[in-house]
Structure 1
């Protein structure tokens, strides 16, 4: 689009026709589409509870849920400026172009503060149940891993591939294999955890510390039922998974986000026991990324890049595996604790 600045987004997802900054309107344009192009694993659905229902984000903005869902904690969404249904059936969302610091530039302390706000915002839904919207996602975690992660993992994996062996010690490779093999248990444990309303895509690319003091959360396409702590788990892991934030900061991020989230729940009067939250973080985080190591091994065997095509900071295969070592060690610990 002439005069528009295209913004980074997941080009594989058929629900997203594109995202642009439009200076002359002082807005960001996001096109939500029923599906055309992209990867088959990211196919959309008209089924309201499907993990990738293409109209969910439109409905989240139309209903006001995106802006209000976690407002109790000071977390909100960009303001909806306008909405247009287009001739091809897609929907154009004209959103506030939020001025502020993107999450990829946040400090560990800022990530922890956001987690506290998120915990406070999600406490109400843990106590009162989800809002009565039929289009909220259900069992999102299991569906996501099935369609995005597990579908490309072959039955036979070389856990001793030379590149993997050079980057990951034998004990870690064994733990990652154990994690993959117990994924069904982890799904069940995450689904049995106390529930709340979750965003389900909380990571630095979707965060802005607005100049006016708001914590702004982007991309509401997956919002729905999830475990208490599921969003916190994702923020911990996905802060470093693609090299957007220094992977060496992971221990500090883990502590700051987990303790911040727990503090936010307490401040908002949540009665969910802390131990249950910690177990939910472990189960949902390990389940969400159980496929990551197997997928990297499969890509190594195929001789294709192991990092994310849309976001990864780059580097050769061994560099990516080494950068993700601390993250993988955390996933193994979570799986063993769940």
Structure 2
């Protein structure tokens, strides 16, 4: 067999595993495999617990014709000690355990997960996840994000109206609390540069964050009092593929490493906030996106039969998005000090200005969450 291996993986030793995957792709069809290619997939920064993501592809010969195939191989690994805790937001084995369960089968609405072919434990302690290579496109228009928000509402509402909440011990139950704790741990250490801040707007952002987080534990516990839903919690645009079938669009959600039981609205807040941070959703249009996405999210929930208080979902949505500031305000402070020392650096100027706009958005959403809390004892 001819193998073009453009990686350091010992892929030539994995032909038996590859055949297992191909049998799941082609079913009872008789085929021959003569050659294939393995190469890295993408060049984005990887999660702490991801060693690499790879693309295997080729064609099999069947009845004198060649049938193409394509597989994604994700290699996950242990990391720091806290990520061995099943309740850590980034528990390293969660996606492998999820692949071995049936929790991603028969998702509501027009949502699906990639087809899982094989979970393979390695002698070095890593785990190889063999899965479908999904062909689709990423969201880049407001209408596409509205479609995603609608499907996300259906997914979340399924666990309030029709389906029992899964109770597996490896599903995170306090995702945002774990994430904010880790963000504060890994954010730039502000003690070394706060005294050197010169930008008054940045100083104000830091002071605002201190007020926001003075009762952080209470805010996080208020989310735990919201109606509980199953949540993806990692809906950056690269984890959401819109796939065209013969007559409709379908949403394929990738990378379920952060799967959690969360408060209603949290998943949407993460999706909205992270895509603004990535500049996929234009921060200058945040109000239009913020309200439109929430409207479509609630529409999806109503279609699944949820008739609860919309303000509960709005509170989870706003607070989840606002609490991203525990990571982004320290980033702003750090970059602002760097810019003071290199004032002609255009890339730094643009990054600082973008972060200022994001934090102003987070301030507005935090203020709305506080107003909603004052209106109701439920939070």
- Give me the TM-score of the superposition, normalised by structure 2: 0.75
Alpha carbons of 1:321 and 1:164: their partners in 2 closer, same or farther (altered >3 Å)? Answer: farther
CA displacement at 1:235 relative to structure 2: 1.2
Alpha carbons of 1:159 and 1:324: their partners in 2 closer, same or farther (altered >3 Å)? Answer: farther
Structure exhibiting the larger radius of gyration computed from Cα positions: 2
Query: For 2:221, which of 172, 177, 188 is the aligned residue?
Result: 188
Distance between the aligned counterparts of 2:215 and 2:366, measured in 1? 8
CA displacement at 1:254 relative to structure 2: 1.1
Query: For 1:200, which of 217, 221, 233 is the aligned residue?
Result: 233
Residue equivalent to 2:90: 52
Distance between the aligned counterparts of 1:247 and 1:335, measured in 2? 16
* Residue 151 (structure 2) pairs with residue 117 (structure 1): yes
State how 1:308-319 maps to structure 2 within 5 Å.
316-319=347-350
Residue equivalent to 2:99: 61
SS state at 1:214 partner? strand
Residue equivalent to 2:211: 178
Alpha carbons of 1:20 and 1:302: their partners in 2 closer, same or farther (altered >3 Å)? Answer: same
RMSD (CA atoms): 2.8
Query: For 1:242, which of 278, 285, 304 is the aligned residue?
Result: 278
Alpha carbons of 1:295 and 1:7: their partners in 2 closer, same or farther (altered >3 Å)? Answer: same
CA displacement at 1:216 relative to structure 2: 0.6
Residue equivalent to 1:258: 294
Query: For 1:79, which of 112, 115, 128 is the aligned residue?
Result: 115
SS state at 2:230 partner? strand
Alpha carbons of 1:150 and 1:257: their partners in 2 closer, same or farther (altered >3 Å)? Answer: farther
State how 1:1-338 maps to structure 2 within 5 Å.
2=6, 3-11=38-46, 13-24=47-58, 26-35=70-79, 45-68=83-106, 71-103=107-139, 106-127=140-161, 129-152=164-187, 154=189, 156=191, 158=194, 161-163=197-199, 165=201, 175-212=208-245, 213-301=249-337, 316-338=347-369
Aligned residues: 316
CA displacement at 1:31 relative to structure 2: 0.7
Distance between the aligned counterparts of 1:129 and 1:177, measured in 2? 39
SS state at 2:83 partner? coil
Distance between the aligned counterparts of 2:210 and 2:176, measured in 1? 20
Alpha carbons of 1:179 and 1:228: their partners in 2 closer, same or farther (altered >3 Å)? Answer: same
Distance between the aligned counterparts of 1:145 and 1:60, measured in 2? 24
Alpha carbons of 1:293 and 1:129: their partners in 2 closer, same or farther (altered >3 Å)? Answer: farther
CA displacement at 1:326 relative to structure 2: 3.3
SS state at 1:294 partner? helix
Distance between the aligned counterparts of 2:200 and 2:219, measured in 1? 24
Q: Is the 8 A contact 1:159 1:173 kept in 2?
A: no
Distance between the aligned counterparts of 1:180 and 1:242, measured in 2? 24
Q: Is the 8 A contact 1:22 1:29 kept in 2?
A: yes
Q: Is the 8 A contact 2:118 2:129 kept in 1?
A: yes
Relative contact order (C-alpha < 8 Å, sep 6+): which is higher?
A: 1
Alpha carbons of 1:302 and 1:323: their partners in 2 closer, same or farther (altered >3 Å)? Answer: closer
What are the Cα deviations for residues 91-118 of structure 1, in whole angstroms up to 9, with x where unaligned? 1111111111123xx2111101111111
Residue equivalent to 1:309: none
Gaps of at least 5 residues in structure 1 are: 305-313
Q: Is the 8 A contact 2:75 2:126 kept in 1?
A: yes
What are the Cα deviations for residues 68-104 of structure 1, in whole angstroms up to 9, with x where unaligned? 4xx212211111122222221211111111111123x
Distance between the aligned counterparts of 1:315 and 1:137, measured in 2? 40
Q: Is the 8 A contact 1:109 1:256 kept in 2?
A: no
Alpha carbons of 1:109 and 1:87: their partners in 2 closer, same or farther (altered >3 Å)? Answer: same
Query: If each structure's strand is expressed as a fraction of its own residues, which one has the higher value?
Result: 2
